[in-house]
C-alpha cells in the first residue's frame, strides 16, 4: 500500500506541542519534517519520543535539513517533495511577522548564566543603560531586508514546490501556519497583509485543481484536523 506524506516546512518555527498534537492526528501518513534542524533539537527529540504504534506501518518521522527561505533550500525541498509522492498535505510554518532586533541579544548576555560565566555585557554607546531591555531597539536595515526577503521566498518557494507535486483526491492542499503573536512593527504588519492577500488571490487557482490553500493559526488548524481525522 502506498503511504501518503505530510510535509512540514520551516520546523524551526514550529511549537513542540503543536507538532506532537499533529503527529497524533496524522496516523495514516508519513511525517516529513524540513527546516534548519540545528535550532530544532528540542522539537526533534519530543517528536521522536512519541509512541510509534499509531503511525502508519510504524514509520518513523523523517528529518531533512533544508531552509525554505533560501534558493538552495528551496531546491532541496522541491526534490524531496517529488521523492515523497503522493503528498497528502504540506504545512508551511512561518517565522514571526516582525524582524528580530538586538534586544534579545542583550537580554541573553544579561541572563544569570552569562553573569555566572563572567561574560562581559557590551552595550552600544548610543543605547543608554537606563533604557528598559524590553523596549525594542532599532532594527538594522540589513536585518530588515533579510527578514522580508527570506519571508517572501519561503512562501513563494514552498507554495510552488507543494503545488507541483499535489493532485486531488490524494492531496488535501497546503496550510500556512502563522505565529499566534500579532505584528508589532510596520514591516511585520506589511508581511502579514501580504501573506493574507496572496492566499486570498491565489486560492481560486488551487481550488480549480480541487486543492485547499489556507493561512491559519496553529490552534485553529489543529481543531479543524481533529474534526476531520477519523
Across the range 200-208, mean pLDDT stands at 96
Q: What percent of the chain has pLDDT over 90?
A: 53
Number of compact structural domains in the chain: 1
134 occurs within a structural domain: no
105 occurs within a structural domain: no
What pLDDT is attached to residue 163?
93
Q: For the whole prediction, is pTM greater than 0.85?
A: no
| Whole-angstrom distance, CA of residue 191 vs CA of residue 6 | 26
What's the whole-number average pLDDT of the chain?
81
Residue identified by cell 491565489 is 202
Half-sphere exposure of 120 (CA within 13 A, CB side): 3
132 occurs within a structural domain: no
Range of the domain at 12: 5-99+155-228
Identify the weakest region by mean pLDDT among 71-80, 131-140, 175-184: 131-140
Summarised one tens digit per residue, pLDDT across range 62-118 is 999 998 888 888 899 999 999 999 999 999 999 999 988 644 333 333 344 433 444
170 occurs within a structural domain: yes
Residue with the bigger pLDDT between 112 and 145: it is 145
Looking at the predicted structure, is the pLDDT value of residue 59 above 60? Answer: yes
Across the range 1-28, mean pLDDT stands at 84
The CATH number covering residue 76 comes to 3.40.50.720
Indicate the angle between helix axes 141-165 and 186-208, nearest 10 degrees: 10
What pLDDT is attached to residue 57?
55
Looking at the predicted structure, is the pLDDT value of residue 196 above 90? Answer: yes
Amino acid at each position: 500500500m502506498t503511504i501518503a506524506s505530510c510535509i512540514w516546512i520551516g520546523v524551526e518555527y514550529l511549537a513542540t506541542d503543536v507538532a506532537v498534537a499533529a503527529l497524533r492526528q496524522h496516523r495514516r501518513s508519513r511525517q516529513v519534517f524540513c527546516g534548519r534542524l540545528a535550532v530544532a533539537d528540542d522539537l526533534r527529540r519530543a517528536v521522536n519520543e512519541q509512541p510509534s504504534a499509531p503511525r502508519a506501518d510504524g514509520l518513523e518521522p523523517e528529518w531533512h535539513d533544508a531552509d525554505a527561505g533560501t534558493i538552495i533550500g528551496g531546491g532541496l525541498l522541491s526534490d524531496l517533495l517529488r521523492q515523497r509522492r503522493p503528498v497528502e498535505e504540506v504545512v508551511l510554518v512561518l517565522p514571526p511577522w516582525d524582524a528580530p532586533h538586538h534586544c534579545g541579544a542583550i537580554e541573553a548576555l544579561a541572563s544569570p548564566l552569562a553573569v555566572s560565566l563572567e561574560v562581559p555585557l557590551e552595550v552600544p554607546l548610543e543605547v543608554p543603560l537606563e533604557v528598559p531591555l524590553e523596549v525594542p531597539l532599532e532594527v538594522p536595515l540589513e536585518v530588515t531586508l533579510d527578514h522580508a526577503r527570506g519571508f517572501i521566498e519561503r512562501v513563494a518557494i514552498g507554495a510552488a514546490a507543494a503545488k507541483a507535486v499535489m493532485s486531488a483526491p490524494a492531496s488535501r492542499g497546503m496550510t500556512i501556519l502563522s505565529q499566534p503573536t500579532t505584528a508589532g512593527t510596520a514591516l511585520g504588519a506589511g508581511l502579514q497583509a501580504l501573506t493574507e492577500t496572496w492566499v486570498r488571490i491565489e486560492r481560486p487557482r488551487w481550488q480549480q485543481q480541487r486543492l485547499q490553500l489556507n493561512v491559519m493559526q496553529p490552534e485553529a488548524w489543529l481543531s479543524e484536523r481533529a474534526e476531520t481525522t477519523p
